[in-house]
Structure 1
């Protein structure tokens, strides 16, 4: 990493706390005392993402925006390769959407109030009745017109390659009943790898696929829909983000070979 990029990465890292606080306070003031519109207040998280990308020298390009209808709610489903996913999507996707965050984050002073001000959606990730209720509440918010972005891998990929999708996010899509849009995050892992604090910078491409209707899928089809979405996201990724092929002697490869022989 060059001295210039090291400086920019350090500056971006040090900027996150004060910028986040400033954005949250601005959103709170705007929603309560000025324009009083949560939709218009989305300018604040967008400004947060765009500024951090620019400071860190992360150059973002979006492909496939023509696939979206500005008037429709969607669930965006993407690979999760880096914290730069959040920065780039926040800053450069203009479609009206909300982030989903675990309920504990809403208890953080200023940050939680800021998330409520811009209408972020709370999810209870514990088990039991409250978790089911929060999932149902989130589904109602989405079906009522709130687009969201989800990362079904559950966590950031350590090597930037696409991992299997968990079905929790898929169940939310099925409950909401809105179209699902695959998104490929390319270059974000290289720009800010998992485990590193300072951004390396570079080019990032967000590829937006065509919406996939969910109305014909039922709860029992969640694994099938997860597989379809996984494939659609993979089609939007550069080769360096694709899953590595299964070794020939792996259990999965052996099963597939047996199936081909039997067929």
Structure 2
């Protein structure tokens, strides 16, 4: 127990003296680069590389190791899809950014637009914001998603809607699957396991812990029946596939 306490203390000292200052600098630099890139009209591949490097740095500087399984299931960069993942922690964003090697745009809550500098950088990167308080929001989101997919980029979304509070996965909302159906693109289920132990919702200091990212085979919603029944059927299938790679506690 003493060794664990000492290990934790040394880790926190490292974070405050080295990890957090470096990450603050890298995050500010990343945001500035993304905002500048939007004005200069640089290719979308540049934005993907910048966010990938930033996310990998966030994981490395907090000493979190990621193991990737099922990499052979990743689609080619010319075959866009809707990537759906469980949402354990803020670290999920770093893991997906760093290790899903395809061009993408996030679908995120509109309130994240208000984050200083980060919100502006997300806007500049062409990420999609959805306002869950407005019924008409899904229509606008689908239109934005069509424009993203037309450029060859995929879409990342957390169907649970928000981070888990208990570590256990909750029921998926249907928005991601309505979107995939409307846009006629495959669903790519992805499991993130271990991120909850790194940074639980409501906490601010991470813990060192291994994160396992499992990429499952993509599927087309048309395989799950005829509309509109294929939407809940696809949501259940995606949730079952994601759950199959989670630890028993999750």
Do they fold alike, i.e. is TM over 0.5? yes
Q: TM-score, normalised by structure 2?
A: 0.85
Q: Which residue of structure 2 aligns with residue 58 of structure 1?
A: 64
Partner of residue 207 from structure 2, selected from 200, 209, 227: 200
Q: Does 1:5 align with 2:11?
A: yes
Q: Which runs of structure 2 are paired with 1:141-152 in the superposition (5 Å)?
A: 141-144=147-150, 145-152=152-159
- Greater Rg, structure 1 or structure 2? 1
Distance 1:8 1:201 in 2: 12
Taking the aligned partners of 2:206 and 2:111, their CA distance within structure 1 comes to 27
Q: Which of 239, 244, 248 pairs up with 1:239?
A: 248
Instruction: Return the alpha-carbon distance in structure 2 between the equivalents of residues 237 and 142 of structure 1.
Output: 30
Contact in 2 for aligned 1:124/1:134 (Cα 8 Å): no
**Rounded Cα–Cα distance in structure 2 between residues aligned with 1:125 and 1:14:** 34
CA contact (8 A) 2:108 2:157 kept: no
Mapped to 2, the partners of 1:132 and 1:100 lie a distance apart of: 11
Does the residue aligned with 1:5 lie in a helix, a strand or coil? helix
Q: How many residues align?
A: 239
Report the secondary structure of 1:159's partner residue. Answer: coil
The answer (yes or no) to whether the contact 1:31–1:38 under 8 Å persists in 2 is no
Distance 1:166 1:30, change over 3 A: closer
Query: Secondary structure in 2 aligned to 1:205?
Result: strand
- Give me the TM-score of the superposition, normalised by structure 1: 0.81
Q: Deviations over 1:86-145 (max 9, x none)?
A: 12111222211111123344455633332233221222333243x143122134135423
Write the distance in 2 (CA, Å) between the matches of 1:109 and 1:82: 20
| 1:78–1:185 contact (8 Å) kept in structure 2 | yes
What is the distance in 2 between the residues matched to 1:159 and 1:239? Answer: 13
**Structure 2 alignment gaps of length 5 or more:** none
RMSD: 2.3
Determine if the alignment matches structure 1 residue 161 to structure 2 residue 168: yes
